[in-house]
Structure 1
Amino acid sequence: MHRLKKRIHDRKELENIELAHESRDVRKFYRHVNKKRKGFAPESSMCKDENGELLTDKQGVLRRWNRHFRQLLCTDQHSGAEPARSQDRHELCEPPTVGEVGRALSRLKNNKAAGDDSISAEMIKAGGDELVAR
């Protein structure tokens, strides 16, 4: 019974791949192909604590990551390099020219995730020359 259901599921997946290929939907096609090719990969929810002991329970793992990032981000130690002063940063480089901005915008790839500001590449490109001039 299980094998029959697996075969039916596999056939449906192959039909979806063929349909995406025939309709020339490249993104959907490769998404299905890669999903099929890579198969199922279980994720591990374990880590080691400071003493090397294996933590398997979810709360213990979360507490360990919390401690790790607190140690990493909340240290009073200074790294050897000092950040550049704001005066120095202005002297290091000139603002980009309109041509450089236009070339950079034309090289942006479509269908990529938006940044922290939630502005996608398509929206930036749609701004046209008015956006480049700013």
Structure 2
Amino acid sequence: MKSKKLQMLTIPNFFYSLLKKVYGSVSSKVAPLRSKDGTELLTNPKDIVGRWKEHFDELLSRPTEVDLSFLDNIPERPIKHLIAEVPNLVEIKAAIRKLNTGKDLGMDGLGAEIYEYGGDHICAMLT
């Protein structure tokens, strides 16, 4: 009998219908919000959303007070040529061998297996 009850609870619709019977139906209520000057209480959802939009527009659209001319005075660092060079075919193959297969996709949306099994064709495209 207990296993039958537990099995019934695994059915999502049955479980949620029981919750609805116990707690009642869920009603989403929007909390009222005061107008910008504080004189009016906004209860209409469109007015509330409009007030939040106005608030964040003012908050995020402020003009900057930072003087960016200091960026011109930062000394330029020399380029590290080892990093600036395009990797050769041997380096690319070595990097592909170090990739872990069976992991999540990379930032490019491709798994390590694509590079591993792509062979010389993929390596040539990466040079």
Q: Same fold (TM over 0.5)?
A: no
Normalising by structure 2, report the TM-score: 0.35
The structure having more radius of gyration, on CA atoms, is 2
Q: Which has the higher contact order (CA 8 A, sep 6+)?
A: 2
Normalising by structure 1, report the TM-score: 0.34
